[in-house]
Chain A
């Protein structure tokens, strides 16, 4: 289980990354993350929506209500140009953390 802080920090890059595969709706997005993380990233599902709305206000993504095959309406989200830019920045930040940690952990055996 991830800590609350880590979940909060990683939600935006995760959403942006899922949306690079094309538009999707909230429920499917959560399923995708759960599947990819092997069930290790568990969100309080409802909490995703305020984040999506905030990202929409920031111009990172846009949304549209559309009828699904089942006849029920769903709200679909897709990436905007600003979102792609934000994702590139996020990628850099997370890679920096990732690379640093990887290097540190590789050194550890030699230290002990």
Chain B
């Protein structure tokens, strides 16, 4: 009985600690100290005859609400808070590039499809639209639409993440190398993909000739130095952020 109760208490204190750990305001050591305080407080209250449940309830209330604690600790651990923000800016920027590359891909695909359908219209006895009309229409519709869809997906991931995705992401945040590589790889693949569809799908349809874009040339047309600098910066900030929060 005693064992079961204390096991539950440990788990509840762990949970409380994990909730706080979600905020960048706390260092690992801060959480150790707060958890130690909570245990002392619970023990004192239990000695006065309260149940583990009641004691924990009062002790967490006395120690302060999560948001209030995060705000106060954030003032002392400002560098950790800023590192966290900077990392999120870097991640958001790279995700934005991936989304816009995907948007280029979708727009080109839509334009090529529309032009091919347009080419079939005379055969069906219908009037054909001019290519430039199709391109402008598709660009006006498809580009903002696909960007919006990408942003909505990203927004949903941030506000209402699926458990599995969330755990993958939080594990990535703890592994700077993996995080950097994933973002870099996605950036290059989507970037190269968008260049590829421009060269191999859109260009032949527009100019009726093939641009022989080999893999190497494709890579050279991308802003690789920029990608590399971004990746190095992400790696640096993610590692520094981990070190600061563990200190």
| Known A27-B41, A49-B30: A72·B73 in contact at CB below 8 Å | no
**Is B72 close to A, CB under 8 A?**
yes
Q: Which residue of A lies closest to B39 (CB)?
A: A72
Q: How many A-B residue pairs have CB under 8 A?
A: 53
Range of interface residues on A (Cβ < 8 Å):
10 to 19
A110-B40 Cα distance, complex, nearest whole Å: 51
The answer to whether A54 and B76 touch across the interface, beta carbons within 8 angstroms, is yes
**Is B62 close to A, CB under 8 A?**
yes
Q: Mark B145-176, 1 if CB is under 8 A from A, else 0.
A: 00000000000000000000000000000000
A28-B76 Cα distance, complex, nearest whole Å: 22
**Is B36 close to A, CB under 8 A?**
yes
Q: Which residue of A lies closest to B37 (CB)?
A: A27
**Is A6 close to B, CB under 8 A?**
no
The answer to whether B64 and A46 touch across the interface, beta carbons within 8 angstroms, is yes
**Is A107 close to B, CB under 8 A?**
no
> What are the 4 tightest A-B residue pairs by CB atom distance, in nearest-first order?
A46-B64, A27-B40, A44-B64, A46-B63
Sample 10 A-B pairs with CB under 8 A, ordered by A number. A25-B36, A26-B37, A27-B40, A46-B64, A46-B68, A49-B33, A49-B34, A54-B76, A72-B39, A75-B36
